[in-house]
Homo-oligomer: A and B are copies of this chain.
Amino acid sequence: MHSVHFTAETSLNGVVERDFTVGEVPGVLFSPASGSDPAPLVLMAHSGGQHKRAPGIVGRAHRFVTCCGFAVAAIDAPGHGDRPRTTEFEQRVAALRQAQSAGEPVTAIVVDLHTYLAERAVPEWRVTLDALRELPQIGTEGPVGFWGIMQGTGIGVPLTAAEPRISAAVFGCLGHESLTEAAAQITVPIEFLLQWDDELLARESGLALFDAFASKQKTLHANAGGHFEVPRFEVDSATRFFARHLGQAVRSPA
């Protein structure tokens, strides 16, 4: 079994950020600067072309830590951030760029890319989760949440379907019938983001994925605006969602 190897540590605004590796997967663990009780863990998966320290990840991770005392782990997806890019990955990305430049439909290429990534990322996340729960500040008993939109949903839906330790998840800004089967296996509480005027995702496709989750508690947050215009207040909503379902009090107004 792999362990967490910490490689660097910084501290900012009450949040300790520790770079780590689990096997060959690099990640960052965000946790409260004070306090030693085991904390609920939130796993964060970045979007396509992004990485574990993308601003959208770091900003949300800090909110989750400071508002609720969560520990938050982000890792690089295969081919992203500090990770090597395989020929298969490069070919898929090149096909995507080519189709985008030509103004051709990209859905089939994105689905193929996400499927390729999820096949690799789901076992990586599970090994990383095993290792993180060996840390005393997290522990083997605490609840685990998942946050990931766009490509993070492409990886997160099959991960959450496969991983019984994840007890609440935020997904969104993605939808395709290739995810329906995994979504139908998910019964934990879900918050699902959708951009009502998404120029990259058919509205019906996102609504259909939300509909597919078997969860008795699921909430769709659809906001006016385009694909990259998810409103900032949805961070607060995700914070409260995790606070409700992972059993932490909100320390400051979120």
Contacts and interface: CB of A to CB of B under 8 A. Distances in A.
B222 A222 contact: yes
A230 B223 CA distance: 19
A221 B224 contact: no
Nearest to A243: B253
B250 A240 contact: no
A215 B223 CA distance: 11
A236 interface: yes
A125 interface: no
Q: Is the interface of A mostly helix, strand, loop or mixed?
A: mixed
Contacts of A25: none
Nearest to A223: B219
Interface in A95-154: none
A217 interface: yes
Given A237-B237, A240-B236, A216 B220 contact: no
A218 interface: yes
A224 B207 CA distance: 13
B224 A216 contact: yes
A221 B223 contact: no
B233 A224 contact: no
Contact of A219 (B216, B218, B222): B222
A196 interface: yes
Contacts of A30: none
Contacts of A210: 196, 222
Nearest to A216: B224
The 7 lowest CB-CB distance pairs between A and B, nearest first, are: A220-B222, A218-B224, A250-B253, A219-B223, A253-B253, A216-B224, A221-B221
